[in-house]
Amino acid sequence: MNTYLSNKLKILSLIAMVLVVFIHSYIETTTNNTLMSEAIAFLQYFISQGVARVAVPIFFTISGYLYFLSYQNTTNDYIIKTKKRLKTLVLPYLLMSFFIVLCYTFILDPLFGHYINKSINIFHNSITDTLKVIFIDPLPYQLWFLRDLILLILLAPFIHYLFKFLKVYFIFILVLLWLPITSFSFYIFSNEAILLQKRKGNVYYLITLVWLLALTIKSIVNIKLGINNEISDILLKISIIMGGISIWSLYDICIKSETPSKILFTLSSYSFFIYLIHEPLLLSTFKKISNVIIRKNELFLPFFYFFNAIITIILCIIIAKGLQKYTPKLYSIITGGR
């Protein structure tokens, strides 16, 4: 991996993380069939249910590339890589999941239990429910990505052999099953030869325009038919593929130098920490507070939609900097040594 690709992966991780926060920043609202109401709905659909949906495939692609970089497909290599992921993936997953359970049990549930949609108290719930919410269905719902990534890593040799023997047929099967955000992007697009290519030219501008057009149509369909409908599902799948190619190529077009701006590079180091802590304590809290105002006047929704996401990201970075300064060892453990 050369310096350009290394920096590119870091910046794209930051961009994808910001998009994930905007996915979760989506504010439920009732469309009143007025022009203003539909415009607000379009804004959220276009960003949270459109542009931002490329974030997860980007994360899986980057994770797959980093895993299969120098992959030997030997038992010893598999053991070494798996042990390393215990520190970088499993430990942060368990720590954050358990920490949030403790927060809900000793702080949130006693004080704000009536206002919380999903809660757990280890003194009131069964051991089975508590273990499930720590290991399988964590309260910080964004951890599903780490959970699935851990599973994919455990299955890496199996995925490798499938691709080795089935080759192009394996890709075809995955496309039919529509798994672009799991095994598909995790393994297929992790090929270094594909990622090292710089994508510039008019064709990528065209792909970007098609992507934005598909998202525009999809957002309009969402307003008329709701999120769950076959047309939106098809357009979403098309837009995810187009969007991934667009963002990947737009980086090559926009970033001229091998090393990006120092600010972006510094912020990119906090991507994983933002991922870990932005939900449910920060962003959900801001959404609940802003909903009090939005119920009185829907015109405030666009402001809070952006404000909640931005202030959450800023707070995550401030917390990260504080931990790095006063408890660097703890920060390193939480982030898996990142």
Tokens representing residue 226 in the block: 């709701």
Please write the tens of the pLDDT for every residue from 27-71: 987 767 788 899 999 999 999 999 999 999 899 889 888 888 878
- Residue 166's identity, in one-letter code, is L
Q: Provide mean pLDDT across the span 230-241.
A: 89
Question: Who contacts 208 (Cβ-Cβ below 8 Å, separation ≥6)?
Answer: 242, 246, 249, 250
Quote the pLDDT of residue 202: 84
Q: What is the reported pTM?
A: 0.90
Question: pLDDT above 90 covers what percent of the chain?
Answer: 57
Mean residue pLDDT across the chain = 87
Per-residue pLDDT, 28 = 86
**CA–CA gap between residue 273 and residue 337 (Å, rounded):** 11
Q: What is the pLDDT of residues 15-30, one digit of tens each?
A: 999 999 999 999 987 7
pLDDT at 173 over 80: no
Mean pLDDT of 168-189: 58
| Structure confidence at residue 181 as a pLDDT band (50, 70, 90) | very low
* pLDDT of the residue at 29: 78
Please give the C-alpha separations between residue 118 and each of 135, 141, 147, in angstroms, as whole numbers.
16, 11, 20
Model confidence at 168, pLDDT cuts 50, 70, 90, reads: low
pLDDT in tens, 295-323: 989 999 999 999 999 999 999 999 999 99
Distance CA 212, CA 233 (A): 16
For residue 182 the two structure tokens come to: 């799991």
pLDDT reading at 188 higher than 80: no
Q: What is the distance between the alpha carbons of residues 189 and 193, in angstroms, rounded to a whole number?
A: 9
pLDDT value at position 273?
A: 98
Number of domains making up the chain: 1
- Residue 201's pLDDT is 72
Q: What pLDDT digit, counting tens, does each position of 252-285 carry? A: 888 877 788 889 999 999 999 999 999 999 999 9
Q: Using a pLDDT cut of 70, give the percent of the chain over it.
A: 86
What type of residue is 105?
A: T
Q: Is the pLDDT of residue 180 over 50?
A: no
Measured CA to CA, the distance from residue 273 to residue 269 in angstroms comes to 8
Distance of CA 120 to the CA centre of its chain: 24
Q: In the prediction, which pLDDT does 178 show?
A: 58
pLDDT at 192: 59
Instruction: Please state, in angstroms and as integers, the Cα–Cα distance from residue 317 to each residue in 267, 273, 276, 313, 337, following that order.
Output: 8, 8, 12, 6, 17
Q: What is the pLDDT of residue 191?
A: 60
What's the pLDDT at 331?
A: 98
User: What is the span of the domain harbouring residue 156?
Assistant: 3-334
Is the peptide bond prior to 280 cis by the omega test (within 30 degrees of 0)?
A: yes
